[in-house]
């Protein structure tokens, strides 16, 4: 019972922190499509073993634009008292579900996952015990493609980095978290307070679930604190005050910025991702990657048509030719024009 409570509590945290935004839902939607496409042979084999059938109906084809339309606010008719107001219905996810499948077909199980992804809910899914091969496959595949609630997200890559990350907390006071298990290279998400700028945790990259808090006296001091150091890879601003957001955007520099969320700028393929200065140089994602890894070669292929117009470029530079050149070079840079003066 205690384990079930921990799972449900973890799901509630996931629901509140990340499953509701539309962009997150789209990510999970894409991941589910990848699961079905990439592991089709495994799915068909499980179906053959459970039901003696070899085909799965992949009718999970909802476009992301449809998802956005469904999630958009829906205006409704207003009365005289609310004529100047914004009145609309805003679809929101309900929350956390525990879903047990009595249907033994994997198609229904995948549909359930699909709709939870699109609607932004979080769920514990229990496949039907009547289809053991499909259930085993679902248990194996879903964590590989979709987000799950697990302490693995706090697991450090090896004991050397575990010891390094743990040592960074020595000078600080733990405000939240702090639990660790070296045998599993596990450190719980930890918030640290009473952190001073000269502490070791503020001098190097952390690469662990540690969040140091430095107290400042106002926005200007926060901006000065950022600008006194190397430019960060990302800047996260949390405020409902538009002036605060504007000042942080105009008076600081960083690789990227997300306001009132974290990491989401990285998930948008049309935004360039990268650092500046010490945080790294370069811009990646989609076409930005192509441009970053390409030499932009300047090319001009001259046409011989109306070659006589080029006479003004060649000696002798008579008054007529200078006049012709001046007319043809209007709007050109002063440097180009000065070559002939």
Secondary structure of the chain in HEC code, one letter for each residue: CHHHHHHHHHHHHHHHHHHCCHHHHHHHHHHHHHHHHHCHHHHHHHHHHHHCCCCCCCCCCCCHHHHHHHHCCEECCCCHHHCCCCCEECCCCCCEEEEECCCCCHHHHHHHHHHHHHHCCEEEEECCCCCHHHHHHHHHHHHHHCCCCCHHHHECCCHHHHHHHHHCCCCCEEEECCCEEHHHCEECCEEEECCCCCCHHHCCCCCCCEEECCCCCCHHHHHHHHHCCCCCCEEEECCCCHHHHHHHHHHCCCCEEEECCCCHHHHCCCCCECCCHHHCCCCECHHHHHHHCCCCCCCCCCCCCCHHHHHHHCCCCCHHHHHHHHHHCCCCCHHHHHCCC
Please tell me the predicted confidence (pLDDT) of residue 109.
65
Phi, psi dihedral angles at 97 (to 5 degrees): -125, 150
Burial classification of residue 124, based on how many CB atoms lie within 10 Å of its CB (0-12 exposed, 13-18 middle, 19 or more buried)? middle
Q: What is the pLDDT of residue 260?
A: 92
- Whole-number pLDDT of residue 225: 95
Measure the CA angle with vertex 150, ends 98 and 131; round to 5°. Answer: 50
Angle between helices 22-38 and 132-145 (to 10 degrees): 130
pLDDT, position 140: 82
CATH of domain 2-149: 3.40.605.10
CATH architecture of 166-292: 3-Layer(aba) Sandwich (3.40)
Domain boundaries, the chain: 2-149, 166-292
- The low-confidence residues of the chain, meaning pLDDT below 70, are 1-4, 17-20, 51-65, 79-83, 85, 94, 97-119, 126-130, 147-154, 157, 286-287, 290, 293, 306, 309, 325, 327-341
The confidence score (pLDDT) of residue 235 equals 95
**CA dist 230 → 214, 225, 262 (Å):** 16, 10, 20
- Write down the pLDDT at residue 142: 78
201 and 171 Cβ atoms separated by less than 8 Å: yes
**Structure confidence at residue 333 (pLDDT):** 45
pLDDT of residue 338: 40
């Amino acid at each position: 019972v205690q384990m079930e409570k921990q799972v449900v509590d973890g799901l509630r945290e996931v629901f509140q922190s990340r499953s509701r935004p539309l962009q997150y839902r789209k990510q999970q939607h894409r991941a589910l499509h990848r699961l079905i496409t990439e592991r089709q042979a495994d799915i068909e084999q499980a179906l053959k073993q459970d039901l003696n059938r070899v085909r799965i109906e992949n009718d999970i084809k909802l476009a992301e634009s449809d998802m956005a339309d469904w999630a958009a606010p829906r205006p409704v008719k207003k009365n005289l008292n609310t004529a100047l107001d914004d009145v609309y219905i805003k679809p929101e996810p309900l929350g956390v579900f525990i879903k047990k499948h009595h249907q033994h077909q994997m198609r229904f199980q995948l549909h359930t996952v699909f709709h939870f992804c699109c609607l932004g809910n979080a769920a514990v899914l229990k496949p039907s015990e009547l289809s053991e091969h499909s259930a085993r496959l679902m248990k194996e595949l879903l964590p590989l493609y979709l987000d799950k609630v697990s302490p693995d997200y706090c697991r450090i890559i090896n004991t050397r980095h575990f010891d390094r990350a743990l040592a960074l907390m020595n000078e600080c006071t733990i405000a939240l978290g702090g639990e660790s298990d070296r045998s599993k290279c596990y450190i719980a998400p930890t918030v640290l307070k009473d952190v001073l700028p000269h502490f070791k945790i503020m001098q190097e990259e952390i690469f662990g679930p540690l969040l140091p808090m430095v107290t400042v006296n106002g926005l200007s001091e926060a901006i000065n604190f950022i600008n006194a150091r190397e430019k960060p890879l990302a800047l996260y601003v949390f405020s409902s005050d538009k002036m605060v957001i504007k000042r942080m955007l105009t008076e600081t520099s960083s690789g990227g910025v997300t306001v009132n969320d974290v990491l989401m700028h990285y998930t948008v393929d049309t935004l360039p991702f990268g650092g500046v200065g010490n945080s790294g140089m370069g811009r990646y994602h989609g076409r930005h990657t192509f441009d970053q890894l390409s030499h932009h070669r300047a090319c001009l292929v001259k046409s011989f048509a109306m070659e006589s117009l080029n006479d003004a470029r060649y000696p002798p530079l008579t008054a007529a030719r200078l006049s012709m050149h001046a007319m043809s070079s209007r709007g050109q840079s002063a440097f180009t024009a000065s070559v002939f003066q």
